[in-house]
Structure formats: C-alpha cells, structure tokens
Chains A and B, each alone.
Chain A
Amino acid sequence: MSSEVALLVVFAAMSQVKRVKRILEADGAYYEIERSPHCISTGGCSVSIRCTPLTLPLVLDAAGGLGIEPKGVHYERQQDGSLSYAPYLPG
C-alpha cells in the first residue's frame, strides 16, 4: 500500500483529537482533522485525524502517550466517484 493512501484515525471526541494534534504539531507539522463519516462512526460526534501509513505511527504514539485509544483506523478510497472506507490493517 502506498504512502499516498489516506487514513483516518478515529477518535471518540474533539477533546481527544485536540490533545493529540497538539503533540503532533508541536514541531510545526500540520494534521487535518474532520468529522468521522457516519459509516465509520454513527454518533456524529467522532473526529478523525487524517494521516498516511507513514505518519500513522506518530499519531498512534501521540495518542498512546496520552492514554487515548483510537476507535479504529480506516483507509479511504475513491470508488465510482464516491468515497468508501474500510478498516485499515497494516502490512
């Protein structure tokens, strides 16, 4: 899988994402965040950090350091003009 693949690391709350993003961006990097699609998390409150397979370990490390467990990692793909998501299984 190429490093261009878009991954969504899914979190339960904006408060969690803000804390993780604060650590990730401490050295000037930027990570996009967005509301998790309904097909991934039905509540509408979940927020995801967008990353790549290369930067995924950084996101997971930052979250782990705060004692935050993501609700999952999904990869995003274009299919017939629309986006679809599937659980991301590294390797």
Chain B
Amino acid sequence: MPLIYLDNAATSWPKPQPVIEAMTRALEQSASPGRSGHRMATAADELVFGCREALADLLGAPDPGSIAFTSGATEALNLAIKGILRPGDHAVISPLEHHAVLRPLKALESIGVTFTVAEGDRHGRMSPLTLQKALKAETRLVVACHASNVNGALQPIAELGALARQRDIPFLVDGAQSVGHLPINVDSLPIDLLAFPGHKGLRGPQGTGALYIRPGLELEPLQQGGTGSESESPYQPRFAPDRYESGTPNTPGLAGLAAAARLPREEVRERTAALREGLARIPGVEALGPGPDADQVGLVAFHLVGWDCTQACGELDRRFSIAARGGLHCAWLAHRSLGTLDRGSIRFSPGPTTTEADIAAALAAVRTLAKGRA
C-alpha cells in the first residue's frame, strides 16, 4: 500500500530532488564557511550567502544581512523573544501560539517578564481591538503566529503589526505554517521579526530556519562564540547576522534550503479545500477552524466522533498507510483557547505532491473509521 503523506505541517515530505542534490554536493565539495580562505571554504561561503540571498528575495527583504540562520523556527522565536525582553518587560501574544512562543515566555517569568494572552474570536484569532486591550505601558513585544498549526486560521498580521508599530513595539510573527505557503513581504508589511523553519512550507531540510530581523533592531544573541569574524576581539560582534550565528553553520542544510527557496511555490489550497469539503460530508466528522470561506493555510483539523485522536491516527497509519498527526500539536495554549484540550484533534496537511487519489483514499479511510464507531 503506497504511503499517503498528510503531515506536511509537521515537516514536508518528500523533499524535492534539487534539495537533495544541493545537500549532497555541499557535503562532497564544501568546507567551513566564513573561516578559512581556501577554495573549499570559499565554496561554502557562496552556499551560505546564496541561501541568505534566496530567503531575502523570497521575503522581499532588501538586505540579505537581515536574515539570521537558526536551527528552525523554535530557535528563531527563542532568539527574538529572549533577545528583546528584559526583567520588568511585558509581551502580548495571541491565543493560538505554539509552545515555541509560550514556553520561552513561561521561562522568562522567572526573571520578571510578564505576558498577556490577548482575547481571540471563536477560532482564536487576535484582532487589533483585543491587542489594544492587552497592551500595557511596559509592553515591549507583540507576538502572533501568522497561521495556526492547530486549526489553520490566519491572523491579521498587517493590522496587528500596524498597531504595534504605532506604539513603537516590535512585532514578531511566527511564520512556521505560512512561509512558503503564502506570500509575505517584510518590506511592505509592518513586521519587525519573522521566524520560520526551512523544512515545512519551504520544503527544505530539517535543522534549518531563520529569523528576519528588521535592520536597526538589535537583539541579545542566544549564545556567544566563534562567528568567523573579528577573531582579534574577545567580544561577540555587534553586527548582524554574525552577532546571532555563533558556531559553524549547517552548510549542507543551508545549501538545501537555498535550493528549496528558489523552487516555484506550489499552492496546496485546492487540495486542502477538497479534503475539508470531503470531510464535512462524512457523518461523525467535526471540523475545526474557520472553514472554506475564510483564509486558511494548508491544513485541516477535525474530531472523529467515538475516536481518540491519536488512536485514530494510529489506525490510519496501520490500516491505510496514511501519515497524519493527532494530539495537541505542541500547542497547549491554542487547544485551550479553542476548547479542545480534552480531545485534541486529528490534522491532515497535504503538500504539493498530494494527489486527488490520495485525498479520495484519505476520505475513504476516515469514512471507514467513522462507520466503525457510529
């Protein structure tokens, strides 16, 4: 039975051939970038800067130096949050935030940082009005995921960012589920910081990601060390991106990410809509999220009456060879906000290689499971 992969919101699969080839070439032909001056090191410099340029081009960032590489969106969010907030500072976050935002903030409570979860609508979306209510004099950061990894809802980042900018508060966007799926231009949107992984919508390798940092905004780095610059100084460089990139970069990963970022972007909206519409016709399926009339990214979340969500995903894997994710999706806060903490949810997230036949097979499998417990 061929695998039907519907877990692209966790990580994209299969990886495009140009990504695999770029990584293989990097492993075979490049050395440590930014350090030595020999030709293999220079080849690595080209790969790393090429990735910076590809990501800057994709996001509309005029200067590739505004892209700081990280191991993924989690590290990028930690860098942004811990790089800005100091004792006594306050942050506002949306009700849909992932653990990659919530847990760093919970950890910072021990040094006197506080935060407020803004009110959301029934799908968890923060509005400019609810953001306004949550702001305080000591608010130093506003955080919103662009698209929820739980129900796919999009938040109004242009309006939220505009309000934050009016108040001179940095606006951090978690682009984990949107970068690569939706066009984002950091030069025209009021975004100060954009965290994103390389391995989800961009279809690059795991272990890659980046933080866009608006030029002029300086963060405290998460760590200090060798940067391949200013070796004559005992202090961390002050300039970006070196300030944020201690240690030898993941050159093969960045080569793969560059190849991924240069690929034509393929929409998964139609596939997602077909899944959503098909699921809605199955008795026993309760869909989550704003639905087909609202902006949403490429995932569909649902409950299956009579089924534990993780057991249902186990059955989908064993009996139907369908890869999907059940549970709380590392997003306790989002599930709490949506009232789904007790049940979790099943999540289908198609990708560019998902076929109509895959969708039909997935719907048939859900129908079979639903009938078994009806």
Contact = CB atoms under 8 A, between A and B. Distances in A.
Q: Which DSSP category, helix, strand, loop or mixed, fits chain B's interface?
A: loop
A19 B65 contact: yes
B49 A18 contact: yes
Interface string A50-91: 000000000000000011100000000000000000000000
B232 interface: yes
B230 A43 contact: yes
Contacts of B230: 12-13, 43, 45-46
A68 B239 contact: yes
Contacts of A43: 229-233
A47 to B, nearest CB: 8
B156 interface: no
Contacts of A18: 45, 49, 52, 64
Interface residues of B, number: 24
B37 interface: yes
Contacts of A66: 63, 65
B215 A67 contact: yes
Interface string A10-24: 001111101100100
A2 interface: no
Contacts of B232: 41-43
A45 B45 CA distance: 12
B65 A45 contact: no
B63 A13 contact: no
A47 B241 CA distance: 16
Given A12-B237, A13-B229, A14-B228, A45 B63 contact: no
A19 B239 contact: no
Nearest to B37: A35
The winner among B64, B65, B241 for most chain A CB atoms within 10 A is B65
A67 B52 CA distance: 18
- Top 4 A-B pairs ranked by shortest CB distance? A43-B231, A13-B229, A43-B232, A35-B37
25 contacts: A12-B229, A12-B242, A13-B34, A13-B229, A13-B237, A14-B33, A14-B45, A15-B34, A15-B65, A15-B241, A16-B229, A18-B45, A18-B49, A18-B64, A19-B64, A42-B231, A42-B232, A44-B231, A45-B34, A45-B227, A45-B231, A46-B229, A46-B230, A66-B63, A67-B215
Interface of B: 33-35, 37, 45, 49, 52-53, 63-65, 215-216, 227-233, 237, 239, 241-242
